[in-house]
Amino acid sequence: MLTRKRIAAASAAAVGAVLVLASASAGAPPASQGIKNVIPITQILSYGQKVTAVAVEYAQDVNPRSLDLDTFTVSDSLYNFRFNPISDLTDPTKRADRTITAVYTNDTPSLEADKESDRGRYVIIELDPMDPGGSTVIAWNGGVKVNTDLQTRVRQDKDVHAQPGNGKGNGPLLAKASSEEHGPTQPAVNLLYDDFVYERFVTASGTDVPYAYWIPEDYDPAKQYPVVVILPGQGQGFLPNAAGEDNEGVQVASDIPATAWLQEEWTGTDEDVIVLAVQNRRVGSATQQSELMVELVNWFTSEYSIDTDHIYASTVSYGSTLAWAALANHPGLFDGVLLTGGFAASQAQADAIAASETPVWITHGTGDHLLNVVTTGQASFNRIWNAYMALGKTPAQASKLVKYTEYPLEAFYEPDQHLAAAPTYEDSSILRWLLAQ
């Protein structure tokens, strides 16, 4: 849900924009009319952030009766960093029209749950989130980052009119139909992503660790909250370059684990959860990176009102290595861990986990093309299970402490079986299990 504070900021930015996009053809409305701004609206889905709507701003309140699903065409790049070369991003032959699912007016560049028009100068064009186009995360510098140069384009195929003065008819012409394509003129409104705070933590050794966090809007320091620590994959690690650019924040945008905990439709519970998404530095061993993460977690849980009996971790791919190290070297830090598409736990780590009895749930794709399921997901489960058997646990006792789920190809709506987080997070019972530990 877009907050009112962020709506106001986006609206103010849009008013200050200077860009003339009206058609220069004969009979076009004067310069004070026409499309004033195009503002993408993004959402984070199972496989990452993508454009799922566009707000088109006009000079006056728009007459919604002049709009339908055929008023606009929205197209976007089919590029997806998981499958395509970066050259596809701007390749004109690698584009497609998006499926428009709703068109309505609003007084801010934001979505309405009922998809009904409110009086306003913005036309909201909602798009089918399952369309292949519109991904915002791109390959960059040996990893990935969020692209601010979005390739979304809007064409207005029918005339758009203002609200009529007497409430009847079409009202004055705001913009004539045109074949011109309009790209974004304002930064995107990024649902949920924009609600995270992006910071740096300086460790005792002087290393700064980028991280993002979210706390509930009604956060009450007199209460205690569970916290979920998100440990992303290696591609989402921190990657500054010589030009001073970096990719901070991509660990929130690249896939669903960070933002799912903010949404009851994902978790299946209305329990407030604090989220801490750590971006690894991609320098040194997994154990060294894990120690930096642990220092950050200990500091963060002392800064906010955290229930220290409800500190959890959820990992993607390489993030598992940080979790395995922390579970072995800092028993009791985490009260439960969800490991998706990860690397294998060593036998020593498995023995330490069994000794601490920290509950873990391991998930993996059967056809994972990067990490073979037999030597990673299955091996981790078997080692921990056998460690519990060696300690004299019964199968019933062990099954409460170590769980394993393997997903076949049909569980993935995009053909990337390495991202086991996608089907994992689509099962809210697994997320509720973690919060129950």
pLDDT band at 167 (very low <50, low <70, confident <90, very high): low
pLDDT band at 18 (very low <50, low <70, confident <90, very high): very low
pLDDT band at 7 (very low <50, low <70, confident <90, very high): very low
Average pLDDT for residues 21-25, to the nearest whole number? 32
CATH topology of domain 4-190: Immunoglobulin-like (2.60.40)
pLDDT of res. 28 = 41
Give per-residue pLDDT as tens, 265-302.
Answer: 999 999 999 999 999 999 999 999 999 999 999 999 99
pLDDT of res. 165 = 80
Give per-residue pLDDT as tens, 360-409.
Answer: 999 999 999 999 999 999 999 999 999 999 999 999 999 999 999 999 99
**Domain 196-436, what architecture?**
3-Layer(aba) Sandwich (3.40)
Long-range contacts made by residues 409-414, C-beta under 8 angstroms, separation at least 24?
409/365, 409/366, 409/367, 411/365, 412/365, 413/46, 413/47, 413/130, 414/46, 414/47, 414/80, 414/82
pLDDT band at 26 (very low <50, low <70, confident <90, very high): very low
Average pLDDT for residues 25-53, to the nearest whole number? 81
Spans of all domains in the chain: 4-190, 196-436
pLDDT of res. 21 = 32
Res. 351: pLDDT tops 50 = yes
Average pLDDT for residues 334-360, to the nearest whole number? 98
pLDDT of res. 170 = 86
Of 177, 204, 150, give the one whose Cα is nearest residue 72.
177
Supply the DSSP string of 149-199, one letter for each residue.
Answer: S---EEEE-S-EEBPPTTS-S--SEEE---S-EE---S--EETTGGGSEEE
Give per-residue pLDDT as tens, 110-142.
Answer: 999 999 999 999 999 999 999 999 999 999 999
What is the spatial order of strands in the sheet that 208-214 belongs to? 197-202, 208-214, 274-278, 225-231, 306-316, 336-340, 360-365, 402-407
Q: What percent of the chain has pLDDT over 70?
A: 92
Mean pLDDT for all residues in the chain: 92
